[in-house]
């Protein structure tokens, strides 16, 4: 199995630009999570989907952030416009467990975003 695949691995952009991060979950997994990791705030859950439907987006910082999951094999996290405080490592994770049970999360290698 290829694991969770994220792209790009590194992104450097200027303030005000649009950033799109992409994630391909493990085939057959029906839960997908977006996390943000910073030194100051640690790991924060931004949003998660079950069966392509957003279940909890309470962690999305503000309207500049949006996430979609158009099908079971692809998700995007978009920041528009980006700001320097958005600089972080963004992780995508998928899980074979659906709503109602706890399960193991499989993480991608992350997308390191730097906003100048």
Partner 1 sequence: AQSVTQLDSQVPVFEEAPVELRCNYSSSVSVYLFWYVQYPNQGLQLLLKYLSGSTLVKGINGFEAEFNKSQTSFHLRKPSVHISDTAEYFCAVSYGGATNKLIFGTGTLLAVQP
- Interface residues with partner 1 (CB under 8 A) are 4, 31, 33, 35, 42-43, 45, 48, 55-56, 91, 93, 95, 97-105, 107-110
At 104, phi and psi to the nearest 5? -85, 135
Smallest distance, partner 1 to C-beta of residue 114, A: 15
Q: Which is nearer to partner 1, 30 or 81 (CB)?
A: 30
Smallest distance, partner 1 to C-beta of residue 90, A: 11
Q: Which is nearer to partner 1, 81 or 87 (CB)?
A: 87
Q: Which residues contact 64 (CB under 8 A, 6 or more apart)?
A: 79, 80, 81, 82, 83, 86
Angle at CA 101, nearest 5°, toward 51 and 25?
Answer: 40
User: E strand or H helix at 43, and its extent?
Assistant: strand 42-50
Smallest distance, partner 1 to C-beta of residue 8, A: 14
* CA atoms lying within 13 Å on the CB side of residue 14: 0
Q: Which is nearer to partner 1, 65 or 91 (CB)?
A: 91
């Amino acid at each position: 199995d290829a694991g969770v695949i994220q792209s790009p691995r590194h992104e450097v952009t200027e303030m005000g630009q649009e950033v799109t991060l992409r994630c391909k979950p493990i085939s057959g997994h029906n839960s997908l999570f977006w996390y943000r990791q910073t030194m100051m705030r640690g790991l924060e859950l931004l949003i998660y989907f079950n069966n392509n439907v957003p279940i909890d987006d309470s962690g999305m910082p503000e309207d500049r952030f949006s996430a979609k999951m158009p099908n079971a094999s692809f998700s995007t996290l978009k920041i528009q416009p980006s700001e320097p405080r958005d600089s972080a490592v963004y992780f995508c994770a998928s899980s074979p467990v659906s709503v109602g049970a706890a399960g193991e999360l499989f993480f991608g290698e992350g997308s390191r975003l730097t906003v100048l």
